[in-house]
Amino acid sequence: MTDLTVGVLGYGFMGKAHSNALARLPMFFPDAPAVERHTLVGRDEEALSEAADRLGFSNVETDWREVVDAVDVFYNLGPNHVHAEPSIAALEAGTNVFCEKPLAPTLERAREMHEAAESSGGVAGCAFNYRFVPAIQYAKRLIDDGELGEIRHVRGRYLQNWLVDPDAPWSWRNSAELAGSGALGDLGAHTIDLARFLVGDAAGDITRVSGDLRTFVDERETENGETRAVTVDDAYSAQAAFENGAMGTFEASRFATGHANDHTIEIHGSEGSLKFALERLNELEYKSSDSRGYETILVTDPEDPYIDHWWPPGHVIGWEHTFVHENYEFLSAVAANEDGEGGDGEESYPSFADAYRVQEVLDAIEQSDESGEWVSVSTI
């Protein structure tokens, strides 16, 4: 097939991460679909043109409406409140869509996106890149192979410290209207998705939750000196129950002094346990049924997930490589769909259905915080 043309909305943090991944793909994944970085979308024409030159895009456009039906794949990397309308328009035009997480600011808008994906003939993926850490893929193999036995506990936390300073400036991430939620949606979405990905087959899905959300600083100044209210949570904690009776505990904070980007997950079963920490993403701690304690596995051998595409054993990879892996899986699914090959019934990427299920859990945690009671996780 001809090169897949890609349009990307957004050229900030995630725009750089995904553009770098698209550039790396042909170098390290020769079987990946050929991709043309066609159009970069943004509002500031001068900054947009500079970004397009730097990120390798041939064209620029300030109106996403001119792009969604003119490319094969539309990447929606804008703020949360921009996720729904362009993504739905692209799906209705028959364009494949890749959207950053969380799927939308609200469950209602997320449902609309999920339904649009269900009605579309294209491929719709959501960017939960931590699924594609080799150590996480290794952990999933252990769990799926029954090495941990019956799952009893799932613990996940995501701690950051970028809002500890009360004088840190207000941004769209502090607005319920623009972001939907704070630490819960921004960080908790990653943890909930990882938990579902790792133990969903073994423990079932999350059935009910109890949540607590806190805001520590009620207002902040913008960079222009205007005082704006903080209308989202700075931190959350939640208890969860899985279908098989396993217990889950989750938390995230932007006020965790001393923690820059600390995403950890622990899973304990009747026969073994494992621990993963993002800040040591090449390692997995594993306790088997016949060992006295944990062993640290360096997941860099050629037979480990994705590692054969990179460096010799022991040469570690980094955070940016997870984006290469997720783009490889998503674009491979797009190419297969475009060629009429379809798939084997199992998606190798997080779909809009997965992202919507995460959103249901996030919404239930918010409901629980408001009611002070356990809330069942609804399904459509």
In-domain check, residue 369: no
**Co-location of 122 and 142 in the same domain:** no
pLDDT(116) > 70: yes
At 142-188, the pLDDT tens digits run: 999 999 999 999 999 999 999 999 999 999 999 999 999 999 999 99
Reported pTM: 0.95
Averaged pLDDT for residues 238-267: 98
Distance, in Å, from the CA atom of 288 to the CA atom of 141, rounded to the nearest integer, reads: 14
Q: Could you read off the pLDDT of 297-351 as tens digits, one per residue?
A: 999 999 999 999 999 999 999 999 999 999 999 999 999 998 877 654 467 899 9
Q: At 231, phi and psi to the nearest 5?
A: -115, 15
Give the mean pLDDT of 206-231.
96
The 10 Å Cβ neighbour count of residue 226 is 9
Same domain, 143 and 112: no
Over 80: is that where the pLDDT of 47 sits?
Answer: yes
Same domain, 118 and 192: no
**Cis amide prior to 26 (ω within 30 degrees):** no
Number of domains in the chain: 2
Same domain membership, residue 179 and residue 114 = no
pLDDT tens-digit series, residues 266-301: 999 999 999 999 999 999 999 999 999 999 999 999
Does residue 178 sit within a domain? yes
Q: Which domain holds residue 173?
A: 134-280+282-316
Q: Is 31 a member of any domain?
A: yes
Per-residue tokens: 89: 């328009």
Whether residues 119 and 226 fall in one domain: no
Looking at the fold, whether 124 and 139 belong to one and the same domain comes out as: no
Give the whole-angstrom CA distance, residue 286 versus residue 113.
38
Judge contact between 362 and 348, C-beta under 8 A.
no
CATH number, position 158: 3.30.360.10
Residues 140 and 86 placed together within one structural domain of the fold: no
